[in-house]
Structure 1
């Protein structure tokens, strides 16, 4: 009886081992697929200067556009940009419309629950921009009774919506529209990433100004599907290589006017 029992236990253990081996077939082939295809599909909401936007020739340009191209060279693959509205960009990633999102994505604990992130590419956050002649707003404590603008679906929307007493929180799908409304007095302030607002301030000197007060500081990175660790790790490796060889500093000076990596 003991021999039979021992044999049954052995058979059960062998079945469990083979079953476990079978489960390992769902390995992470995210990097392998990209290498085999020879193309990295990059999802992007291309209306957020100077990070990613379209120039007068309708070409995608910007800091993250250039960064993606440099990463493609390092990885030995071509880069194909896929435009997507911001409010559906995370769903599009998980439905495999593209391999990675490079579109000024703030790294948050909530987003980490459903996505993998690269190391921080830059540090953004939520700065406050007003018209240059505005003296009524010194910080977010002056927001009550006023109409404030932000990008729809952004962390700025989450933060500003918690401030009580606003006349209105106007949400925009495109940053240029928000700054046009600010210039024309339709809103009192915009809450957005500092480098974005600084771009508009430099582009139209004397029209906008950034306040000293900021609502928070946020790391910005590339977003990957939760199981695509191999692709994310390759991204990090090549990103660090671009940092070491000075490429990132050159791109930063080109788009921001200074080296954010020093």
Structure 2
């Protein structure tokens, strides 16, 4: 009888150890609910309390956001962000961030949002929520004189092509069949330098950026063909930051209605992109 009791005790203890030592996998729904609770927060409430809106930007993307000759942060997104912050009743603090780390930085709450010409894609929508504020397409840039006789993105087949790492331009370039080699760079300054040196035969770049570089260096390269793969551009906020998202959406609509958006657009593009 004692042996039977001992065996029962041993089995009971073993079962308790096993139960305590093994973390059961949560059902997908439970995981989702946990994630929702973690990501949902009071970002907008904190912004109002602190009086500061922290915005991540990649400051190597003219004319959207870049450093001028005085090393001052300027550009379309910078001006528009300042306008939006006034509508929200807070000051703005820009946090320059490398493009390849800009989404992880938002997730880590190093800043409140990203406003850096980020195209809205299905893949990115899995990670963040967006407030759309404009549309940007892609163009092909070639060395002055167009020695390769490239007239469209299809002509980049068999060519060495340069893009910014992690950009939508990189995604667009990967869809072109037959590209000989796709070189990626941290910033477009290096991309266009290599194009001028003959290390690249073509560049895929956002239209606004390509045409801006063309005005600053008219003899360095040409933009050929038309715009393609036009995509919406949005302000990225963390999943669950619904109050901030709604406030930004309202602010965007207001500055479009009162003409402030148009003023900023004409300053940087010479056209009104608020209607696009």
TM above 0.5: yes
- Which whole-Å CA distance do the structure 2 matches of 1:258 and 1:161 have between them? 30
Question: Over residues 68-113 of structure 1, what are the superposed CA-to-partner deviations in whole Å (9 max), with x where a residue is unaligned?
Answer: 1111111111100111110010010000010000111000111111
Say if 2:141 is the partner of 1:129. Answer: yes
Instruction: Check conservation: 1:138, 1:213, Cα contact below 8 A.
Output: no
Say if 2:259 is the partner of 1:246. Answer: yes
Question: Over residues 103-154 of structure 1, what are the superposed CA-to-partner deviations in whole Å (9 max), with x where a residue is unaligned?
Answer: 11000111111111002x2211221111231152111222122110111011
Give the secondary-structure state (helix, strand or coil) at the position aligned to 1:97: coil
In structure 2, what is the equivalent of residue 173 of structure 1?
Answer: 186
- Which whole-Å CA distance do the structure 2 matches of 1:207 and 1:55 have between them? 19
**Of the two, which has the highest radius of gyration?**
2
- Displacement of 1:168 after TM fit? 1.4
In structure 2, what is the equivalent of residue 159 of structure 1?
Answer: 172
Structure 1 length as normaliser, TM-score?
0.86
In structure 2, what is the equivalent of residue 231 of structure 1?
Answer: 244
Question: Over residues 167-217 of structure 1, what are the superposed CA-to-partner deviations in whole Å (9 max), with x where a residue is unaligned?
Answer: 211111111221222222221111111011010111222433222244411
Give the secondary-structure state (helix, strand or coil) at the position aligned to 2:273: coil
Number of positions where the alignment pairs a residue of Structure 1 with one of Structure 2: 239
User: Where does structure 2 lack aligned partners over 5 or more consecutive residues?
Assistant: 1-35
Give the secondary-structure state (helix, strand or coil) at the position aligned to 2:255: helix
Instruction: Check conservation: 1:30, 1:229, Cα contact below 8 A.
Output: no
- Which whole-Å CA distance do the structure 2 matches of 1:158 and 1:25 have between them? 31
- Which whole-Å CA distance do the structure 2 matches of 1:63 and 1:253 have between them? 10
Give the secondary-structure state (helix, strand or coil) at the position aligned to 1:220: strand
Alignment partner for residue 101 of structure 1, among 98, 109, 114?
114
In structure 2, what is the equivalent of residue 43 of structure 1?
Answer: 56
User: Where does structure 1 lack aligned partners over 5 or more consecutive residues?
Assistant: 1-22
Deviation >6 Å, runs of 4+: 23-27
Structure 2 length as normaliser, TM-score?
0.81
- Displacement of 1:29 after TM fit? 1.8
Instruction: Check conservation: 2:44, 2:243, Cα contact below 8 A.
Output: yes
Give the secondary-structure state (helix, strand or coil) at the position aligned to 1:234: helix
Instruction: Check conservation: 2:158, 2:178, Cα contact below 8 A.
Output: yes
Instruction: Check conservation: 2:39, 2:240, Cα contact below 8 A.
Output: no
Matches within 5 A, 1:29-68: 29-68=42-81
- Displacement of 1:25 after TM fit? 11
